[in-house]
A and B are shown apart, each in its own frame.
Chain A
Amino acid sequence: KAGVTQTPRYLIKTRGQQVTLSCSPISGHRSVSWYQQTPGQGLQFLFEYFSETQRNKGNFPGRFSGRQFSNSRSEMNVSTLELGDSALYLCASSGQGFYGYTFGSGTRLTVV
């Protein structure tokens, strides 16, 4: 069974640009969550989607957005990038009856 796949693995962007990250959950998992990990703030929740609906959103500015497609794949977008957006962005999926999350390898975003 394939795990959670995130692309790309690494990204370097310039301040002011926008970026789109992709996540393919485990087959059959309908819940997809996104987290930002930084050395200073740790792991912080961005948003969670289930069946194409955003069920919850973390305390991040509106520059951070996401969506989920009918096949459960999810994307997150960050517009007008700032230096502080440099982080590891992790996607996690969960299936019915299983309360632990399976994380992808993450996308390492560097904003210069």
Chain B
Amino acid sequence: GQQVMQIPQYQHVQEGEDFTTYCNSSTTLSNIQWYKQRPGGHPVFLIQLVKSGEVKKQKRLTFQFGEAKKNSSLHITATQTTDVGTYFCARLNSGGSNYKLTFGKGTLLTVNP
């Protein structure tokens, strides 16, 4: 269907190591959004990608949208303890009468100081 699959489910790293989470879809995505949820918190919007091959950076975070618009990735360089949380990708269905986010299951990142 219109699910987005996210891997890995969990990732534990030492502080300073890099981290990557992947989001895949069997169908072409019109867009992909990324959210971060800290433990005990709520999802916080990070970014939206809409163009094939798009790459966007936010400080140590790099977001990519695949050429075929069926996958996306979030890469964090030199992780810090403040990066701890669950990272979700989500597709936005919009237009007509269909306005909703379909979330992946998320990747829980833990960082050992």
Q: Which of B44, B45, B48, B97 contacts A56 (CB under 8 A)?
A: B97
The tally of residues in B whose CB lies under 8 Å from a CB in A reads 23
Tell me if A100 and B45 are in contact (CB < 8 A). Answer: yes
Main secondary structure of the interface of B (DSSP, over half): strand
Of B88, B90, B101, chain A has the most CB atoms within 10 Å of the CB of: B101
Determine whether A103 belongs to the interface, using a CB cutoff of 8 Å to chain B. yes
A55: Cβ under 8 A from any B Cβ: yes
A105 to B40, CA, bound (A): 9
Interface contact A56-B98, CB-CB below 8 Å: yes
B31 A33 Cβ-Cβ under 8 A:
no
Residues of B within 8 Å of A31, CB to CB, are: 99
Asked if B42 contacts A90 (CB within 8 A), the reply is yes
Chain A nearest Cβ from B35, distance in angstroms: 8
Please provide the chain B residues from 88 to 104 with a CB less than 8 Å away from any CB of chain A in the complex.
88, 90, 92, 94, 97-104
Give B residues with C-beta under 8 Å from A: 31, 33, 41-45, 47-48, 88, 90, 92, 94, 97-106
Residues of A within 8 A of B (CB): 31, 33, 35, 42-45, 48, 50, 55-56, 58, 90, 92, 99-106
The 4 closest A-B pairs by CB, nearest first: A100-B45, A43-B103, A45-B100, A103-B42
